[in-house]
Structures are given as C-alpha cells and as structure tokens.
Structure 1
Amino acid sequence: MSAPSPLGLLLDVDGPLASTETRTVPEGIITTLARLAQRRVPIGFNTGRSADFLLHSVIAPLRAAGLPDDAPFYAVCEKGAVWFPFSAVPEGELPEVSVDAPVPNWVRTDPDMAIDPELREAMWAVNEERDEDVMFADRTKLVMVSLEEEVGADDAEFTRVRDEVVAGIEDLLERRGLAEEFEVDPTIISIDVEHASSGKDLGVERCLGLMADDGVAVPERWITAGDSRSDYAMADALHAMGARVEHMDVRPEDGIPEKAYGVLTAADLAERGVGQAEDVHERAGESLLRWAERDLLG
C-alpha cells in the first residue's frame, strides 16, 4: 500500500463542481483537478449524478487536461448505488451508459437498491402528465429515478411542476406500499427517487472501498464539499471514523448547522486570500480546490 496523501477530497458534483445552471464543469476546476491528480491526491466524486454524466462531463475533460491513467480518482454515483474507479474506464471513446444499453462490466451497481423498471416507467408517466417540457426523465440513471429541470426552463414554473410531481410520486409509492423503501428528494434542479439506504454516507463507504481495492492509503486529512444539508453526511461519516475532516458548504443560505468538525464557506476562504466572500456553487468550489492546492498541499 502506498504512503498516505496528506489530503483527500470527497466532492459533491452539482454545485461544488458543475454549474447548476449549465450542468457543465468550468475549465478552471478541470485544470486544478488534473493537477491534483498528478500529485496523486485521492478524490471521490460523491454524487447523485449518473455514471454517464461523470464519464462525459468530468472524465472526458479531465483526460483532455492530462489526467493520469492511474489517478486515485473514484466515482460514486446515484447516491451510493453505482460506483467505479476512474482507472477502470477504458481508453478511447467513452461509452454511453443508460437504462437503454448494457451496463459496462467495470461499472458496479447495487441491485438491492434498484427501482423496478415498471415502477420507473410509472414515475416518468407522472411527470409527463404534468408538463414534460419543464422536467425530463434522466435515462442515464441505472438504479434511481431522476427528473431534472430542462436547461433554460423558468425556475418558478419548474418549482410549481416539481412540487406537483413530487406529490404524485409520493402518492404512487404509498399506493404500492413502497413509501418506506424509497424516498422522494426534491432539489433545486431535480426530483430524485432513491432507495432508503442511499446517501452521501454510503458514498463514503463505497469510495473507501475503491481506495482499498487500489491499495491507496486513507489520507491524513479530508475536505468534503457540497451544496445541501445532505452533503454534510460525508463529513459526519468521516468524523465518526476518527478522521480529521472539514466540510465546505458552497451554498450556505440554509444556515450552517452545529458540527463537531470545522465548516468552511467562501467567506472563510476569502479571508485566506482565495476567491470572493459572496461566491457560491462552482465558484466557491474552485476556490476550495485552489486553496487545497496552495495552502494544504504546498
């Protein structure tokens, strides 16, 4: 096993890395991540996003920026239900991964967390009955169900339709006796329907398992980052393991909960000479990566 890195990162994707408006990762974040990969900093991308999104929106631009083939980078998708190491992704053209095609053998999924195809279709139908022009069914999700806001849709209209669809899906689950097995999670850009065991804490477990498979030692210190209260579960899990950890909240407008570990915001990084105090989402995420590279790694 290799000597431990002084730092490890566990990052949500939407918000800290990918813009919630364009769904793309800025070039500055990609180039900084590539430099961290070259320094063999272990990074887990712990997200509700799909394997397909990670492949085409994160791995493809990282490879173009010089991502080493053996970088200790790990994808944990669909809130812990799908996972794989970046190093397992074959060279060359990246595949399209969806419910409409065979799943590559290097992508791991948990069948016990999967939503039945017929139930998935029924949930998609609930959206279609309301207004499918506001939200689309993300067919790249292999285990969970996600209905996502169309880029450019009116946010107020999305919120109205989202809340109606949430009520419809919750009623569907209740009628089928599945309300305790699956949870409905409305976000600022989507509705996620996931197994009750899903979560960013499960993502930590998956990531550490992938690191162990690769012989990568657990880092001495961790930084986690997210844009919602559920993302604190990453730092909670690491702290419970006895790890030294801080969490970066890139959208702290919901308030900062009291925690036994440190919580950072863009204002904290601005005081340290990185970014602007008012930065949120991917701008704050880029500041975090630059601070980690400059101050924590030297």
Structure 2
Amino acid sequence: MAPFGLLLDVDGPIASPESRRIAVDSIVDDLLTLASAGIPIAFITGRSDAFMREQVVARLVDGGLDARSHVFGVFEKGGCWAPVTPQGLGELDIDRELAVPESVRAAVEGLAREQYADTMFVDEGKHVMISLEARTDVSPAAYQAAQSRYEAEVYERLVGSGLGLRYRDRQAHDGLGRVPWRIDSTIISTDVESVLLDKDRGADRALDWFAARGVTAQRWWSVGDSRSDYRMADAVHARGIPVAHLDVRPADGVLGKEYDVVVEGDLVHDHAGAAFLRRRVAELP
C-alpha cells in the first residue's frame, strides 16, 4: 500500500493555462520521482488523449518513466482512458455510448469554424465530447466575450433542433422529457458533453483500474483548478477512503467539504501544482 495516491487535473495544476504545456520543469521531475517510488498517479482531465500524449506523456517517457510505476490517464472527463507506460500511452478505451451525436458535432463545430475562428479553435482530438478552445494569441477578455456569445448561440441552435440541453441556469427537455447533454465552460474552453461525464466518473475509473491491479493507497490527494475538480475527492470520500483536495485557483471560491481542502499560499495554477508535488516528494520514505 502506497502512503498516498494522486488524482491530478491537467490544465492548471500541471500544464500552464496560458501556454497549454508543462512550463515548470520540476513538475516532470517530481512526477517521475513519485511514480518510481510506487505512488499511484492518475491524470483526470477533460483533455483529449492526443493532447495528453503530446504534452504530458511524452515528457514522462523522455524522462525515463519507471516500468514498475502505476500511472493512468482518464480523458474527456471519463469518456476515454488508457494506462501510461514507459513506451507511451497504452491502448485507448472509449465509451461510445456517451458520445455526442454527429449531427450535433457538425452544428457546434461548424459555427465555431465559420464565425468564431478569430478567437477559438476546434479540438480535433475529442472522441465523445465537443471542445472549442481559446486561441493562445487572443487576450482572455476578448476570448471570454466571444465565448459568451458563442455559447448562447449554440444553446439556441441545439434547443431549437430538439436537443435536451443544460447551460448555466437554463435547460430545455427533449421530446422524451430528458436533459442528457450540457454546455460546460472553463476559462479557456467550451465543451458540449454528456451530463454523465465529470471528474467523479473519471476518478472512479482510475480507482477501479488501480484496484484491479492490487494498487491502493492509505490516502489520496486530488488537485484541480475548477469547482468541478472537487468531484474527484468526492468520489474517493464516497468510498470511505481518506482524501484531501488542493485548489490551485481558490479565487473562484473554496468549497466547504467533509474532507480537507488546502491551498498553496499565494501560489496558483501550475506554480501551486509544482509546490504541491515538491512537498509530496519530500514526504517519501
């Protein structure tokens, strides 16, 4: 049994939300040290497997990921998953039942390409979600203004076509009285996805994968930059396992939970994530 395990969001605590890559080198070094010490590590992200392969897994492989390590990736908030090995990302499993209908994908992505390409782009690597991401050459203010207009237009179009959809405090039922889809926003993206996809589903997927291999931990840490990331810790807590959550963007509001919620002083995003990992390395026997 490992002394602790890690459930890590990627955008924010691991990859910089500005550059969309690992910008703090110590993060890679410390992840490799923790993995080689037998600490189970799962990346629970809304990102695609392609992004993870290029921006995170490749760095671990190049750094010499230990063959005895237990590292796992859950992508698209639980829609896809794969082990992380010294050879790279392993075989990808996809939950096709949670995939957005192709007609919806065509409408949502088409609007982005035709009218909003100056502020956002389509993430071509998604299998079950639709994701539109902020261009890195656009200011946050300009992107957020376009994002609000875009999301409102997407909502009206999809609801007009009969889709059951939730968006912020608005929702519309489909012909069967259901609301199976939602529009979800972050500071750098807009997702259209199944309401069944979320960070608790991703955490459950990771915990089950570890358990099937006899891997467990005395306690778990979850780390994230959004309120939905707390659901990783919620999933662990629901199993009766000790857990704590690190919020790397507390300015959005720290949630009150039955488990410990901590911050890294005045540090935020990947700088907070780097400090957290360095602390965990210091705790190793």
Q: TM-score, normalised by structure 1?
A: 0.87
Question: What is the alpha-carbon distance in structure 2 between the residues aligned to residue 216 and residue 52 of structure 1?
Answer: 28
Matched, 1:11 2:8: yes
Separation in structure 2 between the aligned mates of residue 30 and residue 281 of structure 1, nearest angstrom: 15
Q: Distance in 2 between matches of 1:178 and 1:69?
A: 45
- How far residue 170 of structure 1 moved from its aligned partner, in angstroms, is 1.4
CA offsets 1:231-255 (integer angstroms, 9 cap, x no match): 0001111111111111000000012
Q: Are the aligned partners of 2:40 and 2:215 in contact in 1 as well (CA < 8 Å)?
A: no
- The DSSP-based 3-state class of the residue aligned with 1:266 is coil
1:184, CA displacement in angstroms?
Answer: 0.5
Partner of residue 168, structure 1: 153
| CA apart distance, 1:259 | 0.8
Query: 1:58, CA displacement in angstroms?
Result: 0.8
Match of 1:274 in 2: none
Matched, 1:287 2:275: yes
Structure 2: runs of 5+ lacking an equivalent? 166-178
Task: Provide the residue aligned with 2:39 in structure 1.
Answer: 41
> CA-atom RMSD, angstroms?
1.5
1:30 aligns with 2:28: yes
How far apart are residue 287 of structure 1 and its match?
0.6
Map of 2:195 onto structure 1:
196
Kept in 1, the 8 Å contact 2:113–2:122? The answer is no
The answer for unaligned runs of 5 or more in structure 1 is 96-103, 268-277
The sequence identity of aligned pairs, in percent, is: 38
The runs of at least 4 consecutive aligned structure 1 residues that moved more than 3 Å come to none
| Distance change (3 Å), C-alpha of 1:178 and 1:32 | same
Amino acid at match of 1:207: A
Letter in 2 for 1:14: D
User: Residue in 1 aligned with 2:18?
Assistant: 21
The one-letter code of the counterpart of 1:225 is: V
| C-alpha contact 1:72 1:216 (8 A) present in aligned 2 | no
Pairing of 1:21-170 with structure 2 (within 5 A): 21-25=18-22, 26-87=24-85, 91=87, 106-170=91-155
8 A contact 1:84–1:210 mirrored in 2:
no
Superposed counterparts of 1:252-291, under 5 Å? 252-267=250-265, 278-291=266-279
Give the number of aligned pairs: 270
> 1-side partners of 2:75 and 2:211: how far apart?
18
Bigger mean CA offset, 122-131 vs 160-169 = 122-131
**Whole-angstrom distance in 2 between the partners of 1:70 and 1:54:** 20
Give CA-to-partner distance per residue, 1:140-168, whole Å, 9 cap, x none. Answer: 11110000001121211101110111112
SS of the residue aligned with 2:187? coil
Q: Per-residue deviation at 1:223?
A: 0.6
